[in-house]
Structure 1
């Protein structure tokens, strides 16, 4: 069955356009209730709903709630909560599923839906296909309607969960932090977590109004945070995205520390202080310097396709507990079931404490290689990657880079583009080689 609605990260789009409408959410709630609301051994089924701070979340929450209740499912309303909190609370309340209303790092005009299974993981493709099939069913009102209740202690439960991801007695006493919550779902949670662990905390991006989520703030726009860290003389800055599953740092010099550098810091810490790191999963876009730094420390590394779903699949296949993306979506599978910005930030801070070194020194143990990307727009991408001129150009560049760089050609998932990326030790050479391949790709595509 062809998937019409679900992408690799749930359902997402502009509000009021395509499927992102209240009418669709009503039908989706009913379909999800029919497919997911199956309680083993009888008894009432329950599904939790959480959301980020964008204004359309209230509308979609009500529509999903109505659809689920009409299907005979009880609904637990969590209110604004980070995406990983919904994954955790779904397990805690033994719910059949959790639903997140969020478009992550996108602007407020967008919204979307993400599902978590009873175990707090992404739904299998087969279950998503069952939900899509159930969308075609006529809606009928169950003879035994569900009920809704608001979970008032959700925030406190999740705060304690985050703190419990660190060892007993762990303290951030003496560390000054600036947090940027992106006017998103962590605005009322992250400051409490770090304060309760003893840090001196100041915060920006903690005044959501429904339309300012991710607006010139958060992990996708860290300039305000960089400025605040320097002005306040803080030790570190920490930026989250709108739904709280990504994190980036700013060091005391105001320099951005990305997901590859944070993963490297966590991996080093595990190797030196926690009995070893058996492997790390990155993506096709992970910096080659990250791979080389892990290789030097004899830590295995594997690449997955871009997307946390694929990272987690590869982690499970390899039996590894650590993986993530340069965007800051980091998964510590021995602490939680999905990417969690707050939990990941605490793992980095734990490394800083145990190494007793500032982050700007720790990240210096890994040399980031210059990376240059060119988006080549084509009338048609058919056969371009297999074209003999393209494969020959790639082979030539790979030979020139030897083992100290790499080439990646990747079709865009949403646009008629082929992304040409080259990494190497010399920035000028990398830029020239990327342009060289891009020219061949353009010719092969008949542009």
Structure 2
């Protein structure tokens, strides 16, 4: 019997991460045993290689300003597991989490005995926990972020009011496939018959796959660059000001609370998704709620400012598209400043290409390091290997411990310089504890 919050977390994290064959049958059976807690709620289902968390954060902020009650499910967490499950921007309490795990554990044990491949995985338990919590809270809308992919993701057991696909790029190829078409096919799995889908700026190969899937399912398409438009008004501003345009919203100007150029397109997707949801629910969209909600959005670990002078930013650019977005931001917003980057990346990522992107910038001083990693099966990459082959203006430095790396960079910087700590979100989680005590 689980008696404490710590025991509840140990139970969750002690489960297997993946099964050999992808299927939703186990998740559906699991939820049926729990009384189908996912039924009867309004969902916005969000997938994408990058941008999911930021889109959820912006949508949540705007919808709360609209006066709605909002549930949210995101991953991974940055500081505490509870962050993943929220109601009106407040994470689930330790007591509620313990109580719901106590309810779920007997069902998991039962399925361990009855199912040939064993009971639920860790993420299936995470999702079931969230569905049970939302069934109790009954929010007006649940912003439901996909874990990996979409088609076989444990969250893909609902029919949403709106589906959202933010971006498609190279990540999780072991599970999703080794081409953009295969990856996009997995993402398109969240598109449902006749349910509107909001789409960000996608590579052509991925776009064709997703558009064709949506047409086949007769899902109305709302695509950035066709049905809605966005532009950054002022260049060289870390917190961007945008101009957004759609058939319903004429020339909306808003300042973003999240930094980085990549948030311009994320904001557009978030606005379009809010628009679509409100229209589907026959609710009136408040222009002022949009402006205020976007400005007041916060999201830990996404170009998050943790020190003002000198400027220190944490950015969970955990894959190649994320690093490319960070590089674009550095070029746009910090071109005139010296930028010191401390980076640690998981071994299962394209870390050689990621380092090459960062090293290509003439104003970047690159320091590579490592960290504990989320577990023995997902270690931190040894970035020391091969750095001598990377063409760069300044020699790449190595910090044997990331804490020493931060200290060494701080000694080299002046007040005008910028420190960016980036790479794995698990790494950012470790570092963030140092800055936010």
TM-score by length of 2: 0.31
TM-score by length of 1: 0.30
Could you say which structure has the greater relative contact order, defined with CA pairs below 8 angstroms and 6 or more residues apart? Answer: 2
